[in-house]
Amino acid sequence: MNSTPAYYGFWQRLGRLLLKLGSWLVLLFLILPILVIVPLSFNSEPFFSFTEGMLTLQPEAYSLRWYQEVFTDPRWILAIKNSFIIGIFATLLSTVLGTCAAVGLAREEMPLRRFITALLLSPMIVPLIITAAGMFFFYSDFGLAGTYPGVIIAHAALGTPFVIITVTATLVGFDYSLVRAALNLGATPLRAFFDVIMPLIRPGVISGALFAFITSFDEVVVILFMAGPQQRTIPRQMFSGLREQINPSILAVATLLILTSIALLVTLELLRRRAERLRLAPAE
């Protein structure tokens, strides 16, 4: 299929060639803007563009000064710390609640299944500005705005839909007689859950957790409205950097974030392969 078959006529060959060319252009459109950031972050000048020296590959045109700046600026350090604290706790909360709910939603006996699923997935669809505005008023009334618990709860709510989706996907075709068998053999419901259901859905739980983490890690609108200066995260710091004074330390952070997403992508791919192996295993 990759090379055109021999019976293709001239126009079909041309069409295939154009398709390939166009597709590669789109792929470049997708990836180039991201890759451009990486060399720019080593700029030794405070610009957002390539200097003459960079283009002629002069070593003194490149430097690590923006990385140094990021790791010595207390604001960036606080932001990095906050992103991880908020991300990790929000992930824990949404993974536990989301996994549990997905197991329940997978049962056909679940009353109002379709409506409740749509409701539980809605945080993914409602525009963040609306969520953020609503949360700002509501959480302020309970003294939660501008606190870590408030931000963590908000981010957990935004992350749960992803956990539900990924866990539900691993539960498709799950045979509940396995659970009944475990219960008949004397397992407690808790043990049945952890020994029978959990191994099967683990890849879904982990990739859901990764999604939840990246959702919190990347979220900025709710933070803008609800968090105080003490809860500034990496994207929040980038947002104000881009609005107020653009300097390449943002590019250095961006490069680090790109590396993070590559790591996440690789982890997810490994998980996907593992899940596939698990699903295929009984048939082999």
Partner 1 sequence: MPARGALLHSLTAQEAGQAARARRRKRLTALLFVLPLLLFILLAFVAPIASMLWRSVHHPTVSELIPRTIAELQRWDEHGLPDEASLAVFAEELHALARKRQSGRLAEELNRAFSGMSSVVKSSARQLGRLQPEQLATDGVPTLLKAHRNWSRSEVWYAIKRAGMTYTYDYYLTALDLERHPDEGIRPRDTQIYLKLYSKTLTLALIITLLCALLGYPLSYYLASLPENRANLLLVLVLLPFWTSLLVRTTAWIALLQTNGVINSTLLASGLLDEPLEMLYTSFATVVAMTHILLPFMVLPLYSVMRGIDPSYLRAALSLGDRPLPAFARIYFPMTLPGLSAGALLVFIISVGYYITPALVGGTDGQMISNLIAFHMQSSNNWELAAALGSLLLALILLLYWVYDRFVGASNIKLG
Nearer Cβ to partner 1 (60/109): 109
Taking the least distance from each CB to partner 1, the nearer of 116 and 278 is: 116
Give min distance, CB of 281 to partner 1, in A.
20
Question: In whole angstroms, how close is the CB of 9 to partner 1 at the nearest point?
Answer: 9
Q: Which is nearer to partner 1, 77 or 262 (CB)?
A: 262
**Minimum separation from the CB atom of position 153 to partner 1 (A):** 5
Question: Minimum distance from CB of 101 to partner 1 (Å)?
Answer: 4
Which of residues 141 and 284 has its CB atom nearest to partner 1 in the complex?
141
Secondary structure of the chain as H, E, C letters = CCCCCCCCCHHHHHHHHHHHHHHHHHHHHHHHHHHHHHHHCCECCCCCCCCHHHHCCCHHHECCHHHHHHHHCHHHHHHHHHHHHHHHHHHHHHHHHHHHHHHHHCCCCCCCHHHHHHHHHHHHCCCHHHHHHHHHHHHHHCCCCCCHHHHHHHHHHHHHHHHHHHHHHHHCCCCCHHHHHHHHCCCCHHHHHHHHHHHHHHHHHHHHHHHHHHHHHHCCHHHHHHCCHHHCCHHHHHHHHHHCCCCCHHHHHHHHHHHHHHHHHHHHHHHHHHHHHHHHHHHC
- CB of residue 278 vs partner 1: minimum separation in angstroms? 19
* Rounded least distance, CB 156 to partner 1, Å: 7
Nearer to partner 1, 48 or 194 (CB): 48
